[in-house]
Amino acid sequence: MTIRANWNYPTPIRFGAGRISELADACRVAGIERPLFVTDPGLVDLPMTKAAVALLKEAGLGVEVFSDVRGNPVESNVYAGIEALKLGDHDGVVAFGGGSALDVGKTIAFMAGQTRPMWDFEDVGDWWTRADPTGIAPIVAVPTTAGTGSEVGRATVITNEESHTKKVIFHPLMMPKVVIEDPELCVGLPATITAWTGMDALAHCIEAYCAPGWHPLADGVAVEGVRLCKEFLPRAVKTGTDIEARGAMLAAASAGATAFQKGLGGIHAMSHPVGALYDTHHGLTNAVFMPYVLVFNRAAIEEKIARLAGYLGLEPSFDAFLAWILDLRAEIGISPTLAGLNVDASRLDEIAAMAIVDPTAGGNPVELTTDAAKAIFHMALAGEM
Ligand SMILES: NC(=O)c1ccc[n+]([C@@H]2O[C@H](COP(=O)([O-])OP(=O)(O)OC[C@H]3O[C@@H](n4cnc5c(N)ncnc54)[C@H](O)[C@@H]3O)[C@@H](O)[C@H]2O)c1
Ligand SMILES: [Fe+2]
């Protein structure tokens, strides 16, 4: 066999209800004594967040909280966090929250000891090789949404405020040293955000599975991730206190981000510019684009998707899979068109231009040209396939 591949699965994950109680121990294992606890303004005052910080204090760790993190986080969030890290002489980061808080926490830890500017480490070419690996602070990650899978990923998504583009910052050593996945932390997540974030996990699994390239390990993880979403996402949306469903969705989110080391595709390439220009939620934006990108890619993925449909217990055909996606979207209350995001065609040229250079575009099984991006956008605008 002449195939060469790079496969990465190293993160230790402590999974299970109540395991947030191990947070101080996770810090010790990661070599952190004075953590900067990075979260967001929506989470910082919740009792579960205060309890997590209290656990660290009780264990004698020198913790301080940093919560200047917006949704679709921007570079100034990262710079403010680096300042807090240095001022407080923190030796690591606890990143606690959804993808926004996890991404900012990871990027703060990554940038802590770098001399080059953050944008040098955008996931383009091999810039990441020029990072100083000794300048990366250890990270413990605690996801409180089940979607991005950032807790197991080597990348973060930060919006460049000057160009209004979402940039992927990448380094293999940006991975958290220990992850705690405690489904009890997700029970207060509103049904809407549960649905949106869950569709992000599903998008990661589907796009990774459809991305070209030889990575049967990622394919297997992605397929099981899709199955978990099928069985448990509607349950998690319907009953937020369903711990089994919350746990399964945390696993699906980590599966998605583990699998997308293989690549993503047109759903994310379209979603990133829309999210950057209109500040729409990432998972919701993915969910709107999902069926249109699948239909656009149909010729290249039909056979693979039919196989996936069979594994899910559906009739083994592309049409059955597509029908399931459309039903799922409707069942969990997601808008079928861009109208639900208050997005119109006025910035289409910009969106298409940004989509084709997005780092995820290269993973689309059909080349994502400007015309292709425009065609997908028009389908999503009109709700027609
Ligand atoms: N690093 C990656 O690989 C990766 C992958 C996909 C997306 N992303 C990025 O992640 C971000 C989106 O992350 P997200 O979808 O998790 O949303 P988010 O982190 O922006 O959180 C959404 C909202 O949910 C609230 N919230 C989070 N957990 C809660 C809980 N348990 N209870 C109550 N409220 C809670 C937050 O306060 C926030 O208001 C985007 O910037 C996206 O581009 C990163
Ligand atoms: Fe995503």
Q: What is the pLDDT of residue 49?
A: 98
Asked if 291 contacts 338 with a C-beta cutoff of 8 angstroms, the reply is no
Give CA–CA dist 283/24, Å, rounded: 31
Buried-exposed string 163-193: b where 16+ CB fall within 10 A, e elsewhere: eebbbbbbbeebbbbbbbbbbbbbbebeeeb
Residue 1 in domain: no
Q: Which pLDDT belongs to residue 8?
A: 57
Assign residue 196 the CATH number of its domain. Answer: 1.20.1090.10
Residues 212 and 280 in one domain: yes
pLDDT at 129: 84
Atom 35, ligand 1: residue with shortest CA distance: 189
Around ion ligand 2, residues with a beta carbon closer than 5 Å are 200
Co-location of 204 and 172 in the same domain: no
Query: CB of 157 closer than 6 A to ligand 1?
Result: yes
Contact 332, 233 (CB under 8 A): yes
Residues 163 and 250 both lie in one domain: no
Domains in the chain, number: 2
Domain co-membership, 215 together with 241: yes
Of 284, 296, 106, 103, the closest CA to residue 200 belongs to 284
Final residue belonging to a domain, choices 131, 163, 186: 186
Residue 258 in contact with ligand 1 by CB distance below 6 A: no
pLDDT score, position 1:
59
Residues 199 and 172 in one domain: no
Query: 97: CA distance to ligand 1 center in Å?
Result: 7
Tokens of 135: 């300048």
Closest ligand 1 atom to residue 257 Cα is: 3
Q: Which residue has the tokens 């205060």?
A: 50
Q: Which ligand is nearest to the CA of 265?
A: 2
Q: Which atom of ligand 1 is nearest to the CA of 106?
A: 1
Vertex 235 angle, CA 209 and 12, to 5° = 55
Distance between CA atoms of 272 and 155, rounded to whole angstroms?
14
* Distance separating alpha carbons of residues 27 and 1, to the nearest angstrom: 42
State whether 158 and 239 are in the same domain: no
- Is the domain of 201 the same as that of 345? yes
Ligand sitting nearest the alpha carbon of 103: 1
C-alpha of residue 164 to centroid of ligand 2, in Å: 18
**Residues 280 and 328 both lie in one domain:** yes
- Pair (200, 168) in one structural domain: no
Protein residue with its CA nearest to atom 20 in ligand 1? 71
Provide the residue-wise pLDDT of the chain in tens; the chain has 385 residues.
Answer: 576 656 657 899 999 999 999 999 999 999 999 999 999 999 999 999 999 999 999 999 999 999 999 999 999 999 999 999 999 999 999 999 999 999 999 999 999 999 999 999 998 878 878 888 888 999 999 999 999 999 999 999 999 999 988 899 999 899 999 999 999 999 999 999 999 999 999 999 999 999 999 999 999 999 999 999 999 999 999 999 999 999 999 999 999 999 999 999 999 999 999 999 999 999 999 999 999 999 999 999 999 999 999 999 999 999 999 999 999 999 999 999 999 999 999 999 999 999 999 999 999 999 999 999 999 999 999 998 8
Q: Whose CA is nearest to atom 38 of ligand 1?
A: 42
Q: How far apart are CA 103 and CA 172, in angstroms?
A: 14
Cβ–ligand 1 distance for 42 under 6 Å, the answer yes
C-alpha 356 to ligand 1 mean position (Å) = 25
Q: What range defines the domain where residue 155 resides? A: 13-186
Question: Residues 177, 310: one domain?
Answer: no
User: Is 8 inside any structural domain?
Assistant: no
Q: Which of 164, 186, 208 is the last residue of a domain?
A: 186
Q: Residue 4: inside a domain, yes or no?
A: no
For residue 128, the model assigns a pLDDT of: 79
Residue 7 lies in a domain: no
Residue 148 domain flag: yes
Name the pTM for this structure.
0.96
Q: Is 148 in the pocket of ligand 1 (CB under 6 A)?
A: yes
Q: Are residues 74 and 107 in the same domain?
A: yes
Same domain membership, residue 317 and residue 284: yes
Q: What are 372's two structure tokens? A: 């292709």
Q: Is the CB of 72 under 6 A from ligand 1?
A: yes
User: Which ligand 1 atom lies nearest to the CA of residue 40?
Assistant: 37
Any idea what the CATH number is for the domain that residue 56 is in? 3.40.50.1970
From the number of C-beta atoms within 10 Å of its C-beta (0-12, 13-18, 19+), residue 371 rates as exposed
Angstrom distance (rounded) from CA 268 to CA 147 = 13
Residue nearest ligand 1's atom 2 by CA: 150
Q: With both helix axes pointing from N to C terminus, report the angle between 282-296 and 370-382 in degrees, rounded to the nearest 10.
A: 110
Answer whether 256 contacts ligand 1 (Cβ < 6 A): no
